[in-house]
Structure 1
Amino acid sequence: MMITMCLLTHVFWGVPIDLGPRLVRPMRKAHVSESSEARPRIPAVDLLDEQGNSLNLVHDLLEDYTVVISFVFTRCTTICPPLGATTATVAQQLKDAGLEGVRCLSITVDPGYDTPARLLMWKRRFGDLDNWRLLTGPKRDVNGAIEAMGFLTADKIDHSPMLLIGNYRSGRWRRVDGLSPVPEIMKVIAEMSAGPKPEAVQKSGRNGAPSERMRKAAPRDAGDPPHPYFPDNVLTDHQGRELRFYSDLMKGKTVVIQTFFTSCSSVCPQVLSRFAYLQDRLGSRLGEEVVLLSITVDPEIDTPRHLAEFAKDWKCRDGWHLLSGSPDRVREVLRVLGLKADRKEAHSNVFLMGNARTGLWKKAFGLGQQEELHRILESVIADRGAP
């Protein structure tokens, strides 16, 4: 019981969490909407950046620039990591293109916790670029600024994944899905700037060469990435099949993702029993419409051959993949999903449920009631996307 309770402290909530379509829509094309031509009444408050510098939001950060603004918080493990990765890629491409009149800003929706030091540590996960500032400050001032931009929510968990792109002097602003393909975001930036035409800023690096950041994020195979966020690393399942994570396992399907390790004797068996229950409830849809992905956090020990024996105990049918592979590739997948743990015993007990056709993602507690987990999964399967 003590071990179980310790592991549960690494889960953020003890009940299923419905992130809803308003939070994670990674698969949809860029959704762009022009906001009112009237300039938002953004307050000229003094905020702190991740270096602890006091900067006036209007006079120092907005007046002389086209800006790309996102809203994040460092304790978030769902939408904020991909937003951070997207923002870092945009900032890198802006820098490569020499566009000094455009900058990226990320404003915390959790100013009571996100000190400059915490923001700096979070930012360094994606790259310490000088044209990307993270901002915090007194809660009243931060919330006032976020409210003026139209993004304030009662609960930080419900914050928007949209980017606000605009030019303060012209008063033109647009909202863009923060998980849109980067070239689509760059097009909007170019349209909102007085700078070069869109095609001049779409290239990934100087002379059209992909930047180092984009090369690292690209799949192992040559060619364009199949998805702007999810990795396409080749992993190996318990049947010895080498499968690309996004292209072979996720694309066009609904997926449920969880982590485990075979030597775990406390929480993992309970979590895996929920997966076995979902397998039974899915029936013939398993493997065709829905796939279950169990990723080991101990790939050095949990080799595909080891997983093959383990799968027999759980009676895994085709469509439930126990995944291992090169430790570096496994850890990269876990990192992008927000499931990487410093110690295997501290791995997450959260299920990620996503509809890769529509981009709807929900998160549920893996030790929750079986019927409730099934209900959440069915709601993800049934999603038809935005009208």
Structure 2
Amino acid sequence: MKKKSIMLIGILVISSLLGACGSYKFEPTLNIEVEDFSLTNQNNKEVSLNDLKGKPWLAMFIFTNCTTVCPPMTFNMTEIQTALQDKDIKDYNIVAFSVDPEVDTPEVLTNYLKSYSVADKSKWQLLTGYKQEYIEQFARKSFNSLVKKSPNSDQVVHMSRFYLVNADGQVVKDYDGTTDVPMETIVADMKALTK
């Protein structure tokens, strides 16, 4: 009986050690190429797809006058960044495309970001400086994502997803950005892509 107990404890110890040895395997679920762009960020600087290549990035579509999903999405992204810092993950960017570019000037986007507790603002690119039609087709072609401005409202319909883009500029995964945010999975995926 004692021998069996010792053996069982040994098996449990070995299996827990194997489980902790980084057995997580990144599995892409999407393969969409982000089309080339050169847009203006919150600091009034040009940011291109080429500038972002070489590091993975998390993308989202938001706008500053949003009364529904954007505030929780932005808050959740700040929480993800804190979790990335806690795991000492440094080589990444966070990119937010405004779906209301006429309202969201660089100055407006800067003020929007100031209203959140952001661990490292240097990682954030809040992009604008294009026509409404551009962002609607760009979201569809590059992220398979819906963006549609209502003609009778100041609100813009858009998806509340976070998109993981690899270092080559391909969307490889997406996640819920509002209520069921898989924080641990996002951090593990980012870690896998920064190796």
TM-score of the aligned structures, taking structure 2 as reference length:
0.71
Answer whether contact 1:95 1:131 (CA < 8 A) is retained. Answer: no
Give the whole-Å Cα distance in 2 for the aligned partners of 1:55 and 1:189: 24
Match of 2:172 in 1: 173
Conserved 8 A contact 2:92-2:194 = no
The residue correspondences of 1:97-108 to structure 2 (distance < 5 A) are 97-108=87-98
| Aligned 1:225-264 pairs, distance under 5 A | none
Deviation at 1:120, TM superposition (A): 0.8
The Cα shift of 1:127 comes to 2.8
* 1:150 corresponds to 2:140: no
More divergent stretch after superposition (88-97 vs 119-128): 88-97
CA contact (8 A) 1:176 1:185 kept: no
Alpha-carbon RMSD across the aligned residues, in angstroms, is 2.5
Greater share of helix: 2
Residues 215-269 of structure 1 show CA distances to partners (whole Å, capped at 9, x for unaligned) of xxxxxxxxxxxxxxxxxxxxxxxxxxxxxxxxxxxxxxxxxxxxxxxxxxxxxxx
What is the deviation of 1:35? 4.2
Cα gap change, 1:115 to 1:166, in 2 (>3 Å): same
Q: Deviations over 1:287-346 (max 9, x none)?
A: xxxxxxxxxxxxxxxxxxxxxxxxxxxxxxxxxxxxxxxxxxxxxxxxxxxxxxxxxxxx
Name the counterpart of 2:51: 60
Matched to 2:43, the amino acid is Q
Structure 1 residues 127 and 52: CA distance shift in structure 2, 3 A: farther
Unmatched 5+ stretches in structure 1: 1-32, 197-387
Aligned residues of 2:146 and 2:157 also touching (Cα < 8 A): no
Q: Which moved more, 1:66-75 or 1:165-174?
A: 165-174
Which residue is equivalent to 2:189?
191
| SS in structure 1 at match of 2:35 | coil
Identity within the alignment, %: 22
Indicate conservation of the 8 Å contact 1:91/1:131, yes or no.
no
Any residues of structure 2 matched to 1:258-273 within 5 Å, and which? none
Counterpart contact for 2:163–2:171, Cα < 8 Å: no
User: 3-state SS of the aligned residue for 2:43?
Assistant: coil
Aligned residue type for 2:54? D
Shift of 1:89: 1.3
* Counterpart position of 1:51: 43
Instruction: Name the CA distance, whole Å, in 1 between partners of 2:169 and 2:130.
Output: 28
AA aligned to 2:140 is E
CA distance in 1 between counterparts of 2:30 and 2:180 reads 24
Shift in Å, 1:181: 5.1
Assess if the C-alpha contact under 8 Å between 2:84 and 2:187 holds in 1: no
Call closer, same or farther: CA 1:195–1:46 in 2, change over 3 Å. closer
Gaps of 5+ in 2: 1-26, 150-154
The alpha-carbon distance between structure 1 residues 87 and 180, as it changes in their structure 2 partners (threshold 3 A), is same
- Deviation of 1:137 after TM superposition, in Å, equals 1.5
The correspondence of residues 129-140 of structure 1 with structure 2, limited to 5 A, is: 129-139=121-131, 140=133
Give the letter aligned to residue 163 of structure 1. Answer: F
Number of residue equivalences: 159
Inter-CA distance 43–80: structure 2 relative to 1 (3 Å threshold): same
How much does 1:34 deviate? 5.5
User: Structure 2 vs 1, CA of residues 75 and 170 (structure 1 numbering), >3 Å: closer, same or farther?
Assistant: closer
Point out which structure has higher relative CO (alpha carbons under 8 A, 6+ apart).
2
SS of equivalent residue, structure 1 residue 154: strand
Code of the residue aligned with 1:191 in structure 2: it is D
Q: What is the match of residue 312 of structure 1?
A: none
1:95 alignment counterpart: 85
Seen in structure 2, the aligned counterparts of structure 1 residues 170 and 154 have a Cα distance that, compared at 3 Å, is closer
**Matching residue of 1:163:** 162
- Report the counterpart of residue 338 of structure 1 in structure 2: none
Verify the 8 A CA contact 2:136 2:147 in the aligned structure 1: no
Match of 2:147, SS state, is coil
